[in-house]
């Protein structure tokens, strides 16, 4: 990780769970970290190595504003970790307006926001003319949908993220930008606050009934990807807790 010391990493969804763990891990290896989140006050400072910026990833105008701010303050970045995500534990065929709003929020945050953060972030990595990495935090649900599926529209967004990761990797090769690597990380069940935040009943009981990972397990996988040689592109990592049934 010495090659990344004092390089600049952007992490979305940085205020809790997996994003918070990734921010702390990167800062511990002496990277300059820019954490993006709606609840900006909850982003860890890590002894001054983290710059916290308020950003709603579901809002394209806000994404553009924030990356312009990053460019003005830092000039370039080297690493982008797209982690921000929300879920929905309601039937998607319910015609009520609130479900429509929530479905759009999941799609806008998990996929559309990730797409536009990648588009903005890659421009700043290119500007560095150095090696760079984009890491997308997906889900095991990007390939497997258990029955019954409690998280409804969420797996569809993660399927899209996995496909998008490969599409961008190929486009970078075709446009002569092979210094930038892409990786999709697909965790199994991770104990975070996403279930509670998205309305799942009895989230603690849910996690306690299943083998699960901790946020730090995912941050370790991010460090692994970054630790590989620049000529090695780990394109996909799937992580399951021991004993996971699907």
Asked, for residue 245, whether it belongs to a domain, the answer is no
The total domain count for the chain is 1
At 157, phi and psi to the nearest 5? Answer: -65, -35
pLDDT greater than 80 at residue 196: no
Asked, for residue 81, whether it belongs to a domain, the answer is yes
Task: Decide if 224 is catalytic.
Answer: no
3 state SS of 193 = coil
At 206, phi and psi to the nearest 5? Answer: -60, -50
Angle between helices 97-107 and 154-174 (to 10 degrees): 30
Domain that holds residue 55: 2-239
Asked, for residue 246, whether it belongs to a domain, the answer is no
For residue 203, the model assigns a pLDDT of 63
CA dihedral 204, 208, 210, 211 (to 10 degrees): 120
Asked, for residue 244, whether it belongs to a domain, the answer is no
Asked, for residue 164, whether it belongs to a domain, the answer is yes
Mean pLDDT of 101-116: 97
Provide the CATH number for the domain around residue 137: 3.40.50.720
Cβ distance 27 to 9 under 8 Å?
A: no
Q: Report the alpha-carbon distance of residue 226 to residue 210 in Å, rounded.
A: 30
State pTM to two decimals. 0.94
Q: Which of 29, 89, 154, 207 is catalytic?
A: 154
pLDDT, one tens digit per residue, over 46-64 is 999 999 999 999 999 999 9
Asked, for residue 203, whether it belongs to a domain, the answer is yes
């Amino acid at each position: 990780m010495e090659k990344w010391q004092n390089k600049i990493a952007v992490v979305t969804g940085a205020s809790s769970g997996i994003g918070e763990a990734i921010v702390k891990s990167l800062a511990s290896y002496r990277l300059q970290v820019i954490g993006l989140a709606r609840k900006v006050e909850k982003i860890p400072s890590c002894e001054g190595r983290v710059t916290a910026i308020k950003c709603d990833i579901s809002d394209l105008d806000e994404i553009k504003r924030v990356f312009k701010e990053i460019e003005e303050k830092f000039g370039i970045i080297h690493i982008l970790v797209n982690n921000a995500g929300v879920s929905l534990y309601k039937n998607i065929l319910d015609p009520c307006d609130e479900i429509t709003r929530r479905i759009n929020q999941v799609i806008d945050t998990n996929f559309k926001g990730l797409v536009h953060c990648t588009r903005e972030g890659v421009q700043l990595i290119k500007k560095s003319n150095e090696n760079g990495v984009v890491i997308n935090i997906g889900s095991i649900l990007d390939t497997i949908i258990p029955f019954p599926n409690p998280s409804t529209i969420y797996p569809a967004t993660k399927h899209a993220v996995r496909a998008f990761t490969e599409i961008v990797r190929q486009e970078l090769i075709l446009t002569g930008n092979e210094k930038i690597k892409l990786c999709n990380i697909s965790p199994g069940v991770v104990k975070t606050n996403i279930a509670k935040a998205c309305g799942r009943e009895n989230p603690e009981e849910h996690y306690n009934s299943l083998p699960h990972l901790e946020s730090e397990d995912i941050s370790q996988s991010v460090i692994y990807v970054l630790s590989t040689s620049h000529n090695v592109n780990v394109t996909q990592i799937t992580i399951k807790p021991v004993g996971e049934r699907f």
